[in-house]
Amino acid sequence: MHIKQASLAVTLLATFGANALAQTPGPTQRQLCPPSNALSAPLTYPVTKKVDQTDNYFGTVVADPYRWLEDANSAETRQWVDAQNLVTQSYLAQIPARAAIKQRLTSLWNYERYSVPYKEGGRYFYSRNDGLQNQAVLYTMNKIDDTPRVLLDPNTLAADGTVALSGTAVSPDGKLLAYGTAASGSDWNEWRVRDIETGKDNDDVIRWVKFSSTAWTKDGKGFFYSRYDEPKEATKLADANYNHKVYYHVVGTPQSADTVVYDRPDQKAWLLGAQVTDDGRYLLINASNGSARTNAVFIKELNKPGAKVAPLFDKFDAGYHFVDNDGARFYFTTDNNAPKSRLIAVDLAAPSADKWKTLVAESGQTLQSVSMLNRQFVAQYLADAHSMVKIFNRDGKAVRELKLPGLGSVAGFNGKKGDSETFYSYTGFTTPATIYRLDLKNSASTVLRQPKVDFDPSAFETRQQFFTSRDGTKVPMFIVAKKGLKLDGSNPTYLYGYGGFNISLTPSFSAANIAWMEMGGVYVLANLRGGGEYGEAWHDAGTKLQKQNVFDDFLGAAEWLIANKVTSPAKLAIGGGSNGGLLVGAAITQRPELFGAAIPAVGVMDMLRFQKFTIGWAWVSDYGSSDDAEQFKALYKYSPLHNLKAGACLPATMITTADHDDRVVPAHSFKFAAAAQAAQGSSNPVIIRIDTKAGHGAGKPTDKQIEEVADRWGFLTKALKM
């Protein structure tokens, strides 16, 4: 989300045993780099063959010698993966602290975790993990204080816990549960239908579902969902996904009988999602063009025979998010003429923009979402990357602000417009997600479930720090550490960022980060441009031709931490996943001297070819595309794979990916690892950790999560000389 000049193709050895290992660059080349953090002799890596593959981008010839690693199913690639994992696991196994770290992580992870309850058809539903279960279990009960009953336990679906619950939808009468599962972390889902009273599954099986919501009709006879055509089995984890379609499934019938409700063969890139209003009268279809913030909304009257799907907002000029409706009066949040969003009312009889009524105007905080509850609007905001909740009446007049425990993050507030109760969670860096019941009649919050974790939260402190980026922009970051932090530059520090796709990073609890801080580490979360913390202008400033702003913000955070003696380059590690993996890759190719270690996870490393795989084309809205001459220049300038230089003084680097990642295909990490190992001019290790039966991250079993974090912190104890 990369490479150097092509060389003559080298024959790949048939096996990847010890005799197939190549030394890192020789002593003369390594002497060009400053002393490294490495505590042992240079590693040897599997020989990775190069091929004479080049591409011509608008007159610029770009070599891609590791193109063959894009074929994850080939015997050669599988041999390469096995050989790289052997090197990595051998290296990690020799780290003395790793076993103790894993033991402490297991203790910290062993606490009850709950989802926010919701109510449908007279029943309550929530999920719970008792601590070390690989997957959370779904429960139901008739009253909120009843003894819960297990409705679905995903841990029984696969012995190794690699089948996860990916989504649920309860029928309006509370009798049926539609649920999706994902195997080994793949984005491909299968949906089934369970009788809630008996706990037994019907015969319904819905396949090839991806990026889909599920919406029941009011009568509970069936539901809408979105899917792709059946892919080729051998390449289903890599092929580009196009032509999303909305279907309707009648319970008790085969999938082959499902009817297409909406598709757009003229717009193969559209992603389509269906939603039914609570009154059952309308079907809303949301259409997004990839990952762009803008979307279209179409509507169909379900109670009118022969009614067609008609456009409501179809200009793709802004984002429109449905809140609720009173008959033909609809409520949406939108950033149309409001970069930080506003709440509007739209009359279906006169839906033109000049007829909209603004109920809650744009403010200084970023409006994230709105729910209609107790016939009021409950609005969630971000203020400097932490949550605020405000309640407004039906006319948009402010009623009150909900008091929260501190600078943290909230989620929930689900329900229907007539509900006088709702539930939400609150979390912070040292506060595990606590579930609250909110009585909307008096705005009183009471704790419903409060986890107990084996650590002392009073031993830590959080502060928010603003720093100045390269172009003068003020950027916030959170710094979390044990109290009494000495500013002498000696603190091992882990700087984490993302910076993309309008996604906001806010305070949240992590057992992994508690373990890191107990070890004496400092955890830093940077709120970079490209995210959604300050609305669309903040997001837009980190996209396409302005993407370098994101990297400059991240580098600015590192420079501030060093200048203010929180840490020093030899003690500073950086991490990020997916788009954050790109961030880390760009940081170490642009300013390797700033860092002692780097962990890019499931990263987009080849910025010239990301759009060729699975859903990668959808990211063009944020990144641009190498198919455009001007955008190619910008991408080529920062693409991590293409900016590795021979003899580079890279910090100790552990790249992580997974064999079933069909979001950011593992070829990104494979190619970057091969190129980085060949380019490395210091004795710092460059290893790649390739997980099996795992994907981009969602649904990863608890035991795999603990293993991965133990490897991460273990790697850093050695790299940062902790």
Structure tokens at 286: 């949301």
| CA gap 426, 450 in Å, rounded | 10
For tokens 């760009």, the residue is 586
Provide the 3-class DSSP secondary structure of residue 169: strand
Neighbouring C-alpha atoms within 13 Å toward the C-beta of 493: 31
Q: What stretches of 318-412 adopt beta strand conformation (E)? A: 320-326, 329-334, 342-347, 357-360, 366-373, 376-383, 386-392, 398-402, 409-412
For residue 320, give the nearest of 300, 299, 304 by alpha carbon. 299
Those residues with Cβ within 8 angstroms of residue 266's Cβ, 6 or more apart along the chain or in another chain? none
Q: Are 483 and 534 in contact (CB under 8 A)?
A: no
Residue 668 annotated among the catalytic residues of the structure: no
Do residues 487 and 564 lie in contact, with contact meaning Cβ atoms separated by under 8 Å?
yes
Distance from C-alpha of 548 to C-alpha of 275, rounded to nearest angstrom: 37
- Three-state secondary-structure class, residue 438: strand
Q: Tell me the C-alpha distance between 344 and 629, whole Å.
A: 39
Which region, left, alpha or beta, applies to residue 466 given φ > 0 means left and ψ of -120 to 50 means alpha?
beta
Which residue of the set 2, 249, 539, 696 is catalytic? Answer: 696
The partner residues of 168 in beta bridges, in order of sequence, read 179
| Rounded Cα gap, residues 418 and 461, in angstroms | 40
Can you read off the two tokens belonging to residue 45? 């890596």
- Tokens 């599988």 correspond to what residue? 78
Yes or no: say if 85 and 93 are a contact pair by the CB < 8 Å rule. no
Does 508 participate in catalysis according to the annotation? Answer: no
The alpha carbon of residue 668 and the mean position of all alpha carbons in its chain are separated, in whole angstroms, by 17
Under DSSP, the state recorded for 146 is: S
Contact 87, 45 (CB under 8 A): yes
Token digits of residue 418: 């007539």
CA pair distance 185, 179, nearest whole angstrom: 16
Task: Pick the catalytic residue from 578, 621, 669, 683.
Answer: 578
Q: What whole-number distance in Å separates Cα of residue 622 and Cα of residue 501? A: 6
User: What amino acid is encoded at 225 in this protein?
Assistant: Y
The strand pair at 357-360 and 421-428 is best described as unpaired
Q: Are 694 and 658 in contact (CB under 8 A)?
A: yes
CB 300 within 8 A of CB 285: yes
Report which of 128, 135, 255 is spatially closest to residue 184, judged by C-alpha positions: 135
* Residue 31 in tokens: 């002497």
DSSP state of 689: E
Kindly list the catalytic residues.
Answer: 578, 696
